[in-house]
Amino acid sequence: MTDGARSFAIGETDFLLDGEPFRVLSGALHYFRVHPGQWADRIRKARLMGLNTIETYVAWNAHEPVRGEWNATGWNDLGAFLDLVAAEGMHAIVRPGPYICAEWHNGGLPVWLTAMEGIGLRRSEPLYLAEVTAYLERVYEIVAPRQIDRGGPVILVQIENEYGAYGDDTAYLEHLVKVTTDAGITVPLTTIDQPTDQMLTDGSVAGVHLTGSFGSRADERLATLRRHQPTGPLMCAEFWDGWFDWWGSYHHTTSAADSAAELDALLAAGASVNFYMFHGGTNFGLTNGANDKGRYLPIVTSYDYDAPLDERGDPTDKYFAFRDVIAKYAPVPDDVPAASGPAAEFEVALDAGEAAVTASVSRHDSPPTFEDLGHLSALVSYEADLDGRGGVLRFGEVRDHAWVSVDGVSVGTLSRTRHEDALVVPPGQRVRVLVEEQGRVNYDSRLGEPKGLIGGATLDGEPVSGWTATPIDVAALGAAMTDAAPAVASSTGVAPFVLRGVFELDEPTDLFLDTKGWGKGFALVNGFLLGRYWSSGPQRTLYVPAAALKAGENVLVVIELDRVADAQARFVARPDLGQLAE
């Protein structure tokens, strides 16, 4: 056996660590939502709350955004993340999906995968199984040597994710189990489902331990779980201690006292727990998902989740309430993390510049989708000739938000959230439709749906053909503007409008960029894409991690889509994630 190797198993009533009963006290911390320079800090604060384990999903589309181009470095260095967990003296749970939901773009599945013709997602379809097998084998090359019986931190690996809410293809789950064990995974395997009879039945597979996901009524939910899992430890593998936000809504929070009481009931019943989330982090870049239960609702950039550790990494009232409960059942370290003070407040002058779009222009009879263009970023500019005509311009569907202009003059917007697919345009020569993909739905039947202008276009009922499409890479545009100051003011009159400012810091420090007064767009610092902002709220600030900043000169770039933003950018003392529900 490897030096330092230990055993972890499922006993008749408990998890067994080196043969002794062991309660898993775990917290979810997604490495892909936290700057790598802050991984160690967040892991340490989990231990100080009394946790003994860190759980993480693996986001396939973060590791392989382009088919065959696997990346496990930098932000994607799962191995380094697990090594930091081990260095803190903690265990690890790995949930590789392949589907993760997580309010994450496309539920973690790569766009190239979900766009493959004929593919059968999350079931026993040969094309899908082949790709999933290759993915899992790559993940397990990282995970297998880091299992506890080889001296590493990993004690549990999950099969799929809440599958009972999606399907009942047992052969598919059996295939995932076989791939997992064939790849050398020897620690216990688990599934997770909400504790209803149907979901637990449909999501289970022989030989794999069942766990539940819930945030209340612990005794009732554990009793249901026990009916389906007669022996072995009970575990709430997603204890929902907060919730996520979406644009146009309010900032969701849960009572620290109520959550602590639910936790107490769960632990009093002898169950193990994994907090979802311990620390949510941020949907940096363009990684936010979306919900659609009859209305499309994209997720905000912050994934604060009202978790015990907030987006900045500071302990909250919930952190200390949970710590007090845990102390009734397990040893808790004496050290307590301190909250950070207010962030620096200052203003930065912004200069407007020409948005240099260097992407190739392609021609099509009807508007192509983002998938047709092989475009992974958030913007595509479509144009067509109107030949002096005006009238009602209608599309089959807009996914997800569009700015329409005629001959360089803005004439309105179309929003999928508002179920808009048409507007009146004045007579003119050329129409331009700038479409933003606002986030891909992260669950159920809308996984992998195409983005862009769907179903063609008509003007007063007559087809509009002869379109051009220009993909715009948001990150590349921002990086280009970071490297060179804008030479001239924007003269196009249509989005995107690009602004740039420079500020000095004595040393790197967390900041909060105030987005109030701006419309809709993206912000970057030193070429790092912080994410999206939108005046519809609730989020009014963007978190800027200290690890993305440097002593000396730093460059802020704002890519505005609605209107030219204020000539001043403001950094403020505290985050503003929006008003709470009344």
- Residues annotated as part of the active site: 162, 238
520 in Cβ contact with 378 (< 8 Å): no
Q: Is 388 helix (H, G, I), strand (E, B) or coil?
A: coil
Q: What ranges in 144-288 are assigned the alpha helix state H?
A: 170-182, 197-203, 218-228, 256-268
CA end-to-end distance (rounded Å), the chain: 58
User: Taken in order 131, 133, 136, 137, is the CA torsion positive or negative?
Assistant: negative
Distance (Å, whole) CA 309 – CA 276: 11
Name the residue among 377, 341, 448, 418 with its Cα closest to residue 113. Answer: 448
Burial of 552 (C-beta count, 10 Å sphere; 0-12/13-18/19+):
exposed
Q: What is the DSSP string of 535-549?
A: TT-S--EEEE-GGG-
Q: Tokens 């105030």 belong to which residue?
A: 514
Sheet order of strands, 541-544 included: 346-349, 568-572, 511-514, 541-544
Distance (Å, whole) CA 133 – CA 98: 9
Half-sphere exposure of 88 (CA within 13 A, CB side): 24
Query: Residue 418 has what DSSP assignment?
Result: T
Tell me the longest C-alpha to C-alpha distance in the chain: 80
Residues with Cβ within 8 Å of residue 569, at least 6 apart in sequence: 347, 348, 350, 499, 501, 513, 514, 556, 558
Distance (Å, whole) CA 526 – CA 120: 40
Q: What kind and span of H or E run contains 267? A: helix 256-268
Provide φ and ψ at 480, rounded to 5°.
-65, -40
Residues with Cβ within 8 Å of residue 505, at least 6 apart in sequence: 344, 549, 550, 551, 552, 554
Distance (Å, whole) CA 498 – CA 568: 13
Distance (Å, whole) CA 525 – CA 240: 32
Which string of b and e fits 423-460 if b means at least 16 CB within 10 Å? eebeebeebbbbbbbbbbbbbeebbbbbbbbbeebbbe
529 in Cβ contact with 473 (< 8 Å): no
Distance (Å, whole) CA 400 – CA 452: 7
- Bridge-based pairing state of the strands 430-436 and 462-463: unpaired
229 in Cβ contact with 209 (< 8 Å): yes
The answer, yes or no, to whether the previous bond of 98 is cis (omega within 30 of 0) is yes
